[in-house]
Amino acid sequence: MSIAINLTVNGVRLSREVDPRLLLSQLLRDELGLTGTHVGCDTSQCGACTVHLDGASVKSCAVLAVQADGAEVLTIEGVAGPDGTLHPMQAAFREHHGLQCGFCTPGMVMGAIELARTAPDLEEATIREGLEGNLCRCTGYQNIVKAVRAGALAMREG
């Protein structure tokens, strides 16, 4: 069985015929070449594959491509400006060195952008709890929390 889907990815409208079992993460990486969305665990725990689906952060390895029919998807490739200017959250991760190996970073940034929009405050405990769905095995999270706070402040000021 193959299903026709229409979706918008990073502002580009697409039509595809997909097997129902194709994951959104597979569609993005294998068919669209958007390999910034990382697959870390493939068991929906690590959050490296986080993208925005109609504005909400989701783990793209736990969403079927057919479920994204009619939706708008935003990946890490789509958050910077058209001229390459980094998104404030990306800039904050660079400024505060919120990474070591960088594998979790795309998911962290996508999760953090939503956190910045929805968190009632930017206390350290709020940020740490808000990032529960994103695992980093390098940093111990110290600089990630600093980066998210700075990025969120920049987003709120911007």
Supply the minimum distance, in Å, between the C-beta of residue 70 and another protein.
9
DSSP code at position 64: B
Q: Is residue 59 involved in binding another protein (CB under 8 A)?
A: yes
Is residue 70 packed enough to be buried (19+ CB in 10 Å), middle (13-18) or exposed (0-12)? exposed
Q: Is residue 9 involved in binding another protein (CB under 8 A)?
A: no
Q: How many CA atoms lie within 13 A of 24 on its CB side?
A: 28
* Count of residues that interact with another protein, criterion CB under 8 A: 30
Q: Of residues 17, 83, 121, 132, which one binds another protein by CB under 8 A?
A: 132
The answer to whether residues 115 and 130 touch, using CB atoms and an 8 Å cutoff, is yes
Which has the closest alpha carbon to 61: 28, 32, 31? 28
Phi, psi of 99 (to 5 degrees): -165, 160
Q: Of residues 7, 27, 36, 57, which one binds another protein by CB under 8 A?
A: 57
Query: Considering beta carbons, is residue 95 or 114 the nearer one to another protein?
Result: 114
Q: Pick out residues in 89-128 that bind another protein (CB under 8 A).
A: 111, 114-115
Rule CB under 8 A: which residues touch another protein?
Answer: 1, 3, 19-21, 23, 42-44, 47, 50, 53, 56-59, 61-64, 66-67, 69, 111, 114-115, 130, 132-134
